[in-house]
Amino acid sequence: MAPLTQLNEEEVMFRDVVRKFARTEIAPISKQMDEHAKLDPALLKKIFAQGLMGVDIAEEFGGQGGTFFQSILVIEELAAVDPAVSVAVDVQNTLVNNAIARWGTTEQKQKYLPRLAEDTVGSYCLSEAGAGSDAFALTASAKQVEGGWQIDGQKLWITNAAEAGLFLVFATVDSSADYKGVTCFLVDRDAPGLSVGKKEDKLGIRASSTCEVVLSGVRVGAEAILGEVGKGYKVAIETLNEGRIGIGAQMVGLAQGALDHAVSYAKQRKQFGKPIGDFQGVQFALAECAVEIEAARLLVYNAARLRDAGLEFVQQAAMAKYYASTIAENVASRAVEVFGGAGFSKEYPVEKLYRDAKIGRIYEGTSNMQRVVIAKHLLR
């Protein structure tokens, strides 16, 4: 296994291409997308054209044939410029694509993976009003009918819902079986009875759509089941374990972006006749940020490397997500302070990164849930 933060030549070249794309294509419109709370459709097409929505989809299905680690590099580099764009790409790669690649039949892979690599956004519909940390307390239900299944229910806080052409919908087929009654269905956006409702007006990552998804008598065939009937909990748990690494990468990228802005400003801003970066108080704050980011990056890269090597990574993924989301909030806050009054203004990007950071400790498993996972592995 390669040293944790050492990238091979191919990974360095790949990262640099993504970094250049983020800085030239995303940075100029990031503020505009945040203000309008909408992902630019033209940018989304460019992201697909770059192959960033199908990083580790096999080449035979139209993807890049890359590694999970490479998808983590993408998420990190995009987040350094705009975490809202990053999370849209993150959900596509670490949740939707991975779930279908692992659990899908040959026919499902042939039908959906080429679309997901080329032009179709995927959405992961698990959360409900009463199903957050208690992820399988689902009220969305699916019952067998002639020719397949009928799905009814309401999903909340669904990322990518506004743009999605494919929804992975988790519903209960047998409420008496508890979590073992949960099943995952592949539902196309144009399925009669599926509608995308209220879009949340969020504190941060505003360009990323977070919406209600309503399923009213949605009919699907038996071929729409991903995995097996009653095995939806396994689909969810295994993909969310990987998704935690993606969120960790997003938070590392966000923190790095905030630090880069703070360092640049500290070199330029003068007080008492010299750059504020010459003052020890500012230097110490920047140094602490750099240490925290490197530690978080080590955790994220380690979890991703373990996953690609086929080794146990669940505890490491929880550690990465927990720590990276914690330091992202801390680093973004310090960056605002380095900017002083200017940092409190929307004119500078650290204000946005500070808002964007908060969600890291909440979605795809709260910090408390990560502590539970880590402790269970310690005590096992």
Tens-place pLDDT, residues 45-76: 999 999 999 999 999 999 999 999 999 999 99
- Judge whether 9-120 and 234-379 match in fold: no
Q: Is residue 364 among the annotated active site residues?
A: yes
Average of per-residue pLDDT across 104-122 = 98
Percent of the chain residues topping a pLDDT of 90: 97
Task: Answer yes or no: is pLDDT of 82 > 50.
Answer: yes
Q: What is the fold of 234-379? A: Butyryl-CoA Dehydrogenase, subunit A; domain 3 (1.20.140)
Task: Answer yes or no: is pLDDT of 2 > 50.
Answer: no
Assign domain 123-230 one CATH number from 3.30.930.10, 3.20.20.220, 2.40.110.10, 3.30.1330.10: 2.40.110.10
Q: Which of 163, 242, 329, 364 is catalytic?
A: 364
Cβ neighbours for 219, distance < 8 A, ≥ 6 positions apart: 145, 147, 148, 149, 150, 151, 191, 192, 193
Task: Answer yes or no: is pLDDT of 216 > 60.
Answer: yes
Residue 333 to residues 133, 259, 344, 349: CA-CA distances in angstroms?
A: 26, 10, 10, 12
Distance CA 136, CA 132 (A): 8
The pTM score is 0.96
Distance CA 192, CA 219 (A): 7
- The architecture (CATH level 2) of 9-120 comes to Orthogonal Bundle (1.10)
Tens-place pLDDT, residues 119-156: 999 999 999 999 999 989 999 999 999 999 999 999 99
Confidence (pLDDT) at 3: 46
pLDDT band, very low/low/confident/very high, at 5 (cuts 50, 70, 90): low
Give 54's DSSP letter: S
Confidence (pLDDT) at 206: 98
Produce one character per residue of 289-310: b if its CB has 16 or more CB atoms within 10 Å, e if not: beebbeebbbbbbbbbbbbbee
Tens-place pLDDT, residues 359-378: 999 999 999 999 999 999 99
Confidence (pLDDT) at 6: 80
Task: Answer yes or no: is pLDDT of 40 > 60.
Answer: yes
Give the number of other Cβ atoms within 10 Å of residue 162's Cβ: 17
Length of the chain in terms of residues written: 380
Confidence (pLDDT) at 4: 54
Type of residue numbered 167: F
Task: Answer yes or no: is pLDDT of 355 > 50.
Answer: yes
Place of tokens 């955790």: 299
Tens-place pLDDT, residues 310-335: 999 999 999 999 999 999 999 999 99
The first and second tokens of residue 222, run together, are: 């038996």
Confidence (pLDDT) at 135: 87
Average of per-residue pLDDT across 286-306 = 98
What are the structural domain ranges in the chain?
9-120, 123-230, 234-379
Distance CA 197, CA 154 (A): 10
Question: What does pLDDT average to over the chain?
Answer: 97
